[in-house]
Structure formats: C-alpha cells, structure tokens
Chain A
Amino acid sequence: MLDPSVRPTRPDAEPPRFDFAPYVTGLPDGRAALTLAVDGLHCAACVWLIESVLAREKGIESARVNMTTRRLRLIWRPGDTEPQAAVRHVASLGYRLTPFDEAGADDAGAARQRVLLRAMAVAGFAAGNVMLLSVSVWAGHAQDMGPATRDLMHWISALIAVPAIAYAGRPFFRPALAALAARRVNMDVPISLAVLLAVGMSLVQTATSQPHAYFDSAIGLLFFLLIGRYLDARSRGRARHVAANLLALRARAVTLVDPDGATRVVAPADVRAGMTVLVAAGERIPVDGRVASGTSDLDTAPITGESVPRPARPGDTVLAGTVNLTGPLRVTVGSVGEDTVLAEILRLVETAEQGRARYVALADRVARLYAPAVHSLALVTFLGWWLVLDAGLQAALLNAIAVLIITCPCALALAVPAVQVAAAGRLLRGGVLIKSATALERLATVDTVVFDKTGTLTLGRPMLLRDGGWSDDDLAAAAAIAAASRHPLARALAAAAADARAAEGVEEVPGSGLRCGAVLLGSREWCGMDAAAESEEPELWLARPGTPPLRFAFRDTPRADAESVIGDLLRSGYRVELLSGDRPLAAGAMAGRLGIARWRGGCTPAGKAAHLAGLAAAGRRVCMVGDGLNDAPALGHALVSMSPADATDIAQNAADVVFQGDRLAPVAEALAVSRRSNRLVLQNLFLAFAYNSLTIPLAMIGLVTPLVAAVAMSASSIVVVGNALRIGRRKRQ
C-alpha cells in the first residue's frame, strides 16, 4: 500500500517520558482510558502489530488503533497495570506514543463532520424515496395517471421531503442566516434560497393540484451539496489530525533534579531558571542552559543544520531542541519557555505564517462571484415573465425558481472537493500527507523550490567513505567496538561492516570516544593525535597498540534519488535553490554535486527566512523543503512548505506537506499531482460553467420541468466527479 522504501521504524534509544496522569480519563465502570498519538504508523500491519502486542499485556482490556487519526485508545483496569508498561512495549517496536488530550481543539471539527454525515444520510434516504415517487409521476404524465393519484404522490413526496430538508438543510441554513445577519452573501445564501423557495413553491403547486412539483430537485440538490461538503470536511479533518498529533509531541515531560538529589518528572511549564534538569542519553534537551555535570555529544542539527555532533562538557552552553546523544547530562536552567532560542524560532514561524493566512481558496473566490450572478439572473427571469410577458405572478415565480434550482452549484460544489480528495488520496498512497486544506492549490502555482541541505537533500545520517587506506579486517575491528555506542559516527561505522559483532568490555567516554582494552576508537585527540589539525569531514580514529592510527572518514550522503529529482525539477522549469545552515564549503560541494546553481551556506534561521521573504518580494512563488528547527521560520515564509516525516516536530508543524521515506521523489510527485489536480479543478469549473450556460437559458424561457432539472443535476455531478477520479489513476508509471 505504501512506498516500500519508507523508513523502517527504529526504536528510540530511550523513549521520551511523559506524565500520563493529566490525560487519563476514568470510565463510569471503574476502568481508565487514555488516548495516545502514534508516530511511525505506516499501514494496517502496524495496527495489527500494536494491537496484538497490547492484547498480550495483562490488565489491558482494550487497545484499538484508529488508522485514520493515527491514535491508539487504551482501556485498562487501574491496579492491574499501568499505561507506562504498555507504552514501553509499543515503543520498543519502534513506534513513538504521545499522550493526547482528546478534549482538545479538533473535537469541533469531528463533530461537524458527523453532523454532515448524518445530514447526508437523511438527505440520501429522502432523495431516493422522493425520486421513486417522482419517476412514477413523470411516467404518469406520459400515460394515464389521474390528477388524484398524482396529487397523492406529490403529498407523500412533501411528507418525506419537508422534514428531511428541515433536518439536512441545517448545515446550509445556519451559515446563510449568519451571513445575512452580518450583511454579507456567501455560497450558502443562494443554496438555502433555492431549496426553500423550491419547497415552498412545490407545496403551493401541490395544494392547487398543478402538474409539476420540485420536491425531488430540492432534496436532490441538498444531497449532492452535502456530499461535496462532507468530502471537503473529511480532507480537512485528515489534515487536522496530523497537525494535532504533531502538537502533542511537544508535551514532553522534564526530569528535574531537586537540591537533595531526588528526581521527579514535571511538565515543561513548571521549570524555572536556576533549577537543574537531568537529560538522559537520547533525550532532547528541554531548556537553554549550561552543563553542570556530565560529558556527552550533542546533535545540534535541529538548530544549526550541522551534521557532526558537538561535544558538551561542564560549563558549555546548550540550547533547547538539541539532542543529547551519548551520556547523561545535568543542565542548569538558564532560560525556559518564551526566552529560549527555540521559542524565538517559534515566534519567527508564527509571524511568517500570519502573512500566509491571507490566501483565499479558489472555490471561495468563485463563490464570491457566483451568488450575485445567480440572484440577478433569477430576478431578471422573474421580472421578465411578470412585467414584460405578463405571465402572472405564480408562473413568473416558478420560472425564477427553476433558474435558482438549475444554477445551484451541484457541479460547482463538487468541482473542487472531489478533485482534492482524489489527489490527497493518491498522494497518501505515495507517503505524502497534505496538512493544509489549500496546500494543493498553492503547490500548483509554485515556480521556485528551495531545499535545505542536511536532513532534506541528504539523509542527515553520516555514511562511511570507502576509500580510507584501511582493510576489511580493520573495519571489522573498529565496527566491533563502535557497535556499543549510540554516537551517529559509531553507528555509521557499525552499519558499514555488515556482520560486526559487538566487542565485550567496551567503555564509552562521552565526548571523546570508546575504549576496549588497549584499543581506542574516537576523536583525533582521543587517539593521541594532534587535535589542531581538524579535517573537513567528520572522522573517527582507530588506535591499536603497535600500529599507526587509522582514519575513518564520513560524509552525509544525499538521498539516493536527490540528483535525478533535482534534474527533473530543473527540466520542468522550476528554479531550484539550496539554502543551508552548514558551512559554505559543504553547502557548495553538495550544490555542485546535485547540479544546483543557486546556493547559499552559513545561513541563520532568520537569514533563511529573510532570503525567502526576498524571493517572495521579487514575485517568486516559493516551495520550501526543510526539516530542521532552523528551517521552520523559512517554511512559514514560503508560499507552501514541505518537510520529511523524520524532521523535527516543529518543522513538520510549520510545513503544509509531510512526506515519508528516504527518497526525495515525493517532493516532485506532490508538485506534479498538484499541477494535475489544478488542471482538473479548472476543467471541472469549466464543465460546471458550460452546464450552466446550457441550462440557464432553458430555465429562463421556462422549459425546465422537474424531470429536466433532475437529469441535468445528476448528469453534471457525475461528470464532475468522474473527471476528478481520473487523478487517482496512473499510480504507477
């Protein structure tokens, strides 16, 4: 179902700890429930795996994973088990679980979606039954149905249609009333007006025993419109779930060390400057501060984009958001919350995003023109028949209503959501999640793609360079020692020797290297070399007694398909840029290797954002692809932004599109699908317009009977939906 090259889940060195208590809800029967966001869920097999592992757990009464929302709901009997135990088991499989506050903001959206679905069901039921009766009436017009039977059919139709419309029409009537109260006109006003006038008119027609009633048109109209609304709400809902799950990731707990040496787990908001925080190896540092004790290596890539870890010793400054790799650290808190560098970056993101909120979706722009046009046409028809042609009030009104019904935007309401749902579904199968409702539309207008380097164009993981003047035996010896460490370079070394067995008795000295008896593996300094002669590439040295030290050099390699994807983008006419926080030398080398002519190195987060703002001011429509915290403000500044699924959560939050896997191809795929979906949307709008220009004159001259209206409405909707579904095909080229 998903891309086979999607990153296999790997267990975190140490799963982050959470304070579950505030999220646990008690059920009436004494059991407790907890909802957790699951990160790393790819397919149904993951659902099965998690559920069966938890089913083995004693005391867990029910564990059910929702694949749409990517959330796990646990129900257990307090006393029999604790959620921590269950979470540990799932975390050891490689999934990350974060407690999720279900009473959070996305409830309103979910409730709205359910209301729409219920309304759609009622409208569908009523439309089917009324249509059944209408077909009999239409057949009766051609045959010998008497007026009494016809009126009976009409009255039964009214009996079904009127309550159904009263119920199913609420999602349209309420916003329409609100808009009118605010003296505005939106898409709901012509819809409500058409439906209500059609029903009212039909009741009068039925009561006066006229041959035509429009109950089927009114309820059919509602049914088609509700399908469009529901599809729209569903695709927004999916985006909302992704965003809400990402937000939950931030709620990590902090381990505080009290002056008496005791440790306790608290929420990040309760940490004050001057306190001491314990950061275990593998954990993200929650505060800005200074190392009080312990030595380790820090992965600063999230903040600076630099791929080589930096050693941290007592007295060194550490920044919130960086990851502690090798040894536990005690950090004296310098600043927390709003004062950290991290919070400063978040503020930059927010400012940038405010500028972007002004984008108006295409459907809304069409709707603004639509309502006045339809209402003036209906008015012209009414006045024309009444005053010019002297047709009588009722006949004139009937024709005006026919215009309202026939123009009512069935095709228009389905034109955009149908394409977006089909496109988002196709991208999802390729591992691309659309987070923002208008992201596809914005992607389609992009003419410039800006990439970050580390973690975006590259995998963000160093790989061993093969030509180093060492033999396979040397590599095996080094890998055996390296297998004991969590340092990225050591891991890369261990991964390079396929069947390396971890050596016994390896001791790790954080910030320096590894020792196994007399054999040393680590930095230049650690192996007794001259530390001043620092090399360009990250390196590890292996020092064995009696032989000169050997050097293992590493390089952060580009994603396997980076070069071909960049080539494709350039050939399709996109302007491609590289913007990196890494040293200019490294950025330039990467740009040259991938054939990117425009590049810039050594950028600060604000520098990146400023560059993007400059591009926007020059009229370029930019898609930014980045993964780090340092990219987040730039992601917010771009017209549309993407980030890989293993990016920092803040970057994923700022991005409109998140793609999974080790390949870069999803970026090109998303751009291509967005262009295609934009073409289909325009085609659909054209079809809807063509349909209207054909049927409006018919309605204005009074030729639209309920039969014609029903055929035209269904036919146009089916054509539009069928056209939209074309995007789902051609999955594998």
Chain B
Amino acid sequence: MSALLYLIPIAVLLGLLGLGAFLWALKTGQFDDLDGAASRILFDDDPPESKDS
C-alpha cells in the first residue's frame, strides 16, 4: 500500500499537466475557431511569399 504514497501524487501531477496544457491552448486561441481548424490541415503550408516571422 505504501506505493500509493508516490503513485497518487504522480497520477494527480500528470492530470494537472494535462489540465495546464488545455488551459494554455485555450488561452492562446486554439479553441476560437473549431470549424476552421478542422480544415486547416488541408491548406497549402507555404503561402506564395512566406511571411512567417
């Protein structure tokens, strides 16, 4: 049973990690356009003149 003492914190920590990742994604606007995001994978990656900075 003593294994629980570190297994539970690990489980909770992993859960928190997932929660943190989700909240980060939400904050950076990745859930703002669920309809569009689904199709973006089909777009050409590089626009004619890449403007990525």
A interface list, Cβ under 8 A from B: 43-44, 47-48, 51-52, 55-56, 60-62, 65-69, 114, 117-118, 121-122, 125, 128-129, 132-133, 149, 152, 156, 160
Chain B interface residue bracket vs A: 20 to 34
Residues B35 and A67 in contact, CB atoms below 8 Å apart = yes
Residues A129 and B12 in contact, CB atoms below 8 Å apart = yes
Closest CB in chain A relative to B12 CB, distance in Å: 6
- A-chain residues with CB within 8 Å of residue B22 when the two chains form the complex: 121
- B-chain residues with CB within 8 Å of residue A160 when the two chains form the complex: 12
Say whether, besides A44-B39, A129-B11, A129-B12, A55 and B49 are in contact (CB < 8 Å). yes
Question: Which residue of chain B has its CB nearest to the CB of A44?
Answer: B39
| Interface of chain A: mostly helix, strand, loop or mixed | helix
Say whether, besides A55-B49, A118-B26, A132-B11, A125 and B19 are in contact (CB < 8 Å). yes
- B-chain residues with CB within 8 Å of residue A133 when the two chains form the complex: 8
User: Considering the chains assembled together, what is the distance between the CA atoms of A51 and B36 in angstroms?
Assistant: 12
Question: Which residue of chain B has its CB nearest to the CB of A59?
Answer: B51
Residues A47 and B32 in contact, CB atoms below 8 Å apart = no
- B-chain residues with CB within 8 Å of residue A47 when the two chains form the complex: 36, 39-40, 43
Residues B44 and A66 in contact, CB atoms below 8 Å apart = no
Closest CB in chain B relative to A256 CB, distance in Å: 37
Residues B17-38 near A (CB distance < 8 A): 18-19, 22-23, 26, 31-36, 38
Query: Can you list 21 A-B contacts (CB < 8 A)?
Result: A44-B36, A44-B38, A44-B39, A44-B40, A44-B43, A47-B39, A48-B39, A48-B42, A55-B51, A66-B32, A66-B33, A67-B39, A68-B34, A68-B36, A121-B22, A121-B26, A125-B15, A125-B18, A129-B15, A149-B1, A156-B8
Residues A61 and B36 in contact, CB atoms below 8 Å apart = no
Question: Which residue of chain B has its CB nearest to the CB of A113?
Answer: B31
Residues A52 and B47 in contact, CB atoms below 8 Å apart = yes
User: Considering the chains assembled together, what is the distance between the CA atoms of A61 and B8 in angstroms?
Assistant: 48
User: Considering the chains assembled together, what is the distance between the CA atoms of A421 and B14 in angstroms?
Assistant: 32
- A-chain residues with CB within 8 Å of residue B38 when the two chains form the complex: 44
Nearest first, the 5 A-B pairs at minimum CB distance are A44-B39, A67-B36, A55-B47, A125-B19, A66-B33
B interface list, Cβ under 8 A from A: 1, 4, 8, 11-12, 15-16, 18-19, 22-23, 26, 31-36, 38-40, 42-44, 47-49, 51, 53
User: Considering the chains assembled together, what is the distance between the CA atoms of A179 and B42 in angstroms?
Assistant: 48
Residues A44 and B42 in contact, CB atoms below 8 Å apart = yes
Closest CB in chain A relative to B28 CB, distance in Å: 12
User: Considering the chains assembled together, what is the distance between the CA atoms of A66 and B40 in angstroms?
Assistant: 11
User: Considering the chains assembled together, what is the distance between the CA atoms of A133 and B9 in angstroms?
Assistant: 12
Question: Which residue of chain B has its CB nearest to the CB of A41?
Answer: B36
Residues A121 and B15 in contact, CB atoms below 8 Å apart = no
Closest CB in chain B relative to A61 CB, distance in Å: 6
- B-chain residues with CB within 8 Å of residue A114 when the two chains form the complex: 26
Closest CB in chain A relative to B5 CB, distance in Å: 9
Say whether, besides A44-B42, A66-B36, A67-B36, A117 and B48 are in contact (CB < 8 Å). no
User: Considering the chains assembled together, what is the distance between the CA atoms of A118 and B23 in angstroms?
Assistant: 7
Residues B44 and A52 in contact, CB atoms below 8 Å apart = yes
Residues B4 and A149 in contact, CB atoms below 8 Å apart = yes
Closest CB in chain B relative to A496 CB, distance in Å: 37
Closest CB in chain A relative to B15 CB, distance in Å: 5
- A-chain residues with CB within 8 Å of residue B43 when the two chains form the complex: 44, 47-48, 51
- A-chain residues with CB within 8 Å of residue B53 when the two chains form the complex: 61
User: Considering the chains assembled together, what is the distance between the CA atoms of A61 and B49 in angstroms?
Assistant: 11
Q: Which of B8, B44, B49, B53 has the most CB of A within 10 A?
A: B8
- B-chain residues with CB within 8 Å of residue A129 when the two chains form the complex: 11-12, 15
